[in-house]
Structure 1
């Protein structure tokens, strides 16, 4: 069994589907520690990356215990750092959760000036279904059929939820539909939604505990759940949205934190992340077989149509307020926020 899968299963035995996790350090030989603040689904995936980093020259004298970690819903994590929570490296679901910290002077304005444009991990939106897919869910149209019970996280707190909902929107507009048709489609999706938990990890927990017929989720989250023993399957729909998760160092972080950020997008670390179900963001990664994938030998098939936030929504700088604006300071409600209020599906506080 490879070390990445061991790490995932070890976390599974102690509650891999918990919302948050924290490790503390008693002090490394080098005196270095790195505080990582990240969105919830990174909890298991980071363990082998920490292990490999301490084996590099940059991590010499450190141990895995010298990483202090905090995990939770992406927006909540970002707001916590904004309010003073400790962080050397931030890794979130959405670009807007990093740019919030840029606006507060906590992350440098040039954080995207690197080979991956600031992206550390990537995935796609998938449908997580019951083992054997008893409802026969294969396409977006299947999940808006009457009686299908959907779970997706709350867009108000979860980055995963925003990717999910925009993937549904793109299914209509990216295939020639109008904005009104997209509104109708998302309304039908929300009408079928029985729960909007606070984070992607909480949503997975709700589904694996028995709620719902289908969960909208990251591909990597589905793979991790299967690695951890969940009796589920997942479907990559014919058209879906590319998920890109940004990472950055804070302005007060030292050179070791920067070295770790750089390591995150190295072929070695990307191979670790691939074993947890993330699609590599750089070339030259030896992925190997990925346990839990639909086809372990070909774990990341190319969808028939792959939408992107930049090409199909004008980037997060434009999409965030247009779709998810909260109406504060006299600004209009975002389209999805408005639809949530109209359907009464505003999520869990």
Structure 2
């Protein structure tokens, strides 16, 4: 799926296909699917600034892993944002993103959210916490972690909660195994596909990003969401492609996301701001949080990927493989 967000040009299914405004610049953004509302709003706001007045942002959205591999294979990206850091690391290893991408404001992850449980309006199944998902008959919708970064966050949240932040790994894996084998009957390829599956009436609970839940409610979907007592903070990396011929312009757009103005835009579409002042101003608009685990609490992405999600060594990958045989 591709869309246009910016100050000029018409819609296009191919990033880079639209003409730039006179004397202006087209930037191609490749991002994970559930980030679409955020980046569309961000691009529109950027177009009102002196730096962005003549910039058109063309965006391509899809499953995070698929988008990352697409860029490595030659898609003409200027800016990238993926659901998980390993998908950006793939570009670092390919020499396409500078290794210092995370040294700037907010460590290169100005787009944050938390994992929530989306339910039908009125919460007819009385879902409140992770244990409720394992009750007999509860059907859970979440994407496939082999293609979707959203799915990895969705499963990291209950894993972290039931393993006490990774201290009891077996307890966490036992929970995930029960969830995946007994309660997940559909496995869409991306977070947005999972939302559409739930919108069409499948499942009792959708695991998703809070901002995706807020977007669904804003569209008039007959849903609400529950923040479990323990969840995980989603940190989505954003970076300029260093091999882009428009690297400087791309970096300016990336930098805008971390400014108070950019954070304000992201907050208004349901993201949790990382700027402390903006976060404080919007705190009343979000449900309160209990315990929020991070990837750092679980040992960092290298440990999480190799131990849980790697194709050959990941314990959760193995659980999914068993469930789909």
- TM-score over 0.5 for the alignment? yes
Query: Residue 127 of structure 1: SS of its match in structure 2?
Result: strand
Aligned to 1:164: 154
- In structure 2, how many angstroms separate the alpha carbons of the residues matched to 1:320 and 1:177? 17
Of 299, 303, 306, 2:285 maps to 299
Query: Residue 153 of structure 2: SS of its match in structure 1?
Result: helix
Of 135, 145, 153, 2:143 maps to 153
Give per-residue Cα distances to partners, 1:95-132, cap 9 Å, x unaligned.
00100000000101111110210102000010000110
* 1:61-140 pair list within 5 angstroms: 61-62=54-55, 66-140=56-130
- In structure 2, how many angstroms separate the alpha carbons of the residues matched to 1:21 and 1:217? 28
- In structure 2, how many angstroms separate the alpha carbons of the residues matched to 1:197 and 1:277? 23
Query: Residue 86 of structure 1: SS of its match in structure 2?
Result: coil
Q: Is the 8 A contact 1:270 1:281 kept in 2?
A: yes
Aligned to 2:240: 249
- In structure 2, how many angstroms separate the alpha carbons of the residues matched to 1:209 and 1:91? 28
Q: Is the 8 A contact 1:274 1:287 kept in 2?
A: no
Unaligned runs of 5+ in 1: 1-6, 8-19, 290-296, 328-332
Q: Is the 8 A contact 1:126 1:217 kept in 2?
A: yes
Of 18, 33, 49, 1:56 maps to 49
Aligned to 2:35: 42
For the structure 1 residues 216 and 286, does the alpha-carbon distance in structure 2 shift closer, same or farther, using more than 3 Å as the test?
A: closer
- Equivalent residues, number: 311
Of 207, 216, 229, 1:238 maps to 229
Of 204, 207, 212, 2:198 maps to 207
Deviation at 1:288, TM superposition (A): 6.3
Query: Residue 298 of structure 1: SS of its match in structure 2?
Result: helix
* 1:260-275 pair list within 5 angstroms: 260-275=253-268
Structure 1 runs of 4+ off > 3 angstroms?
A: 20-24, 286-289
For the structure 1 residues 255 and 100, does the alpha-carbon distance in structure 2 shift closer, same or farther, using more than 3 Å as the test?
A: same
Deviation at 1:177, TM superposition (A): 6.9
Deviation at 1:27, TM superposition (A): 2.1
- In structure 2, how many angstroms separate the alpha carbons of the residues matched to 1:147 and 1:200? 23
Deviation at 1:34, TM superposition (A): 0.8
- In structure 2, how many angstroms separate the alpha carbons of the residues matched to 1:175 and 1:99? 24
Q: Is the 8 A contact 2:19 2:26 kept in 1?
A: no
Q: Is the 8 A contact 1:23 1:69 kept in 2?
A: no
Query: Residue 101 of structure 2: SS of its match in structure 1?
Result: coil
Query: Residue 186 of structure 1: SS of its match in structure 2?
Result: helix
Deviation at 1:24, TM superposition (A): 4.6
1:29 and 2:22 are equivalent in the alignment? yes
Deviation at 1:141, TM superposition (A): 0.1
- In structure 2, how many angstroms separate the alpha carbons of the residues matched to 1:163 and 1:21? 29
Deviation at 1:287, TM superposition (A): 7.7
Aligned to 2:10: none
For the structure 1 residues 302 and 308, does the alpha-carbon distance in structure 2 shift closer, same or farther, using more than 3 Å as the test?
A: farther
Q: Once structures 1 and 2 are overlaid, which stretch shifts more, 268-277 or 81-90?
A: 268-277
Deviation at 1:59, TM superposition (A): 1.5
For the structure 1 residues 87 and 22, does the alpha-carbon distance in structure 2 shift closer, same or farther, using more than 3 Å as the test?
A: closer
Aligned to 1:198: 189
- In structure 1, how many angstroms separate the alpha carbons of the residues matched to 2:75 and 2:165? 43
Query: Residue 116 of structure 1: SS of its match in structure 2?
Result: helix
- In structure 2, how many angstroms separate the alpha carbons of the residues matched to 1:149 and 1:279? 28
Deviation at 1:47, TM superposition (A): 1.9
RMSD of Structure 2 on Structure 1 (CA): 2.0
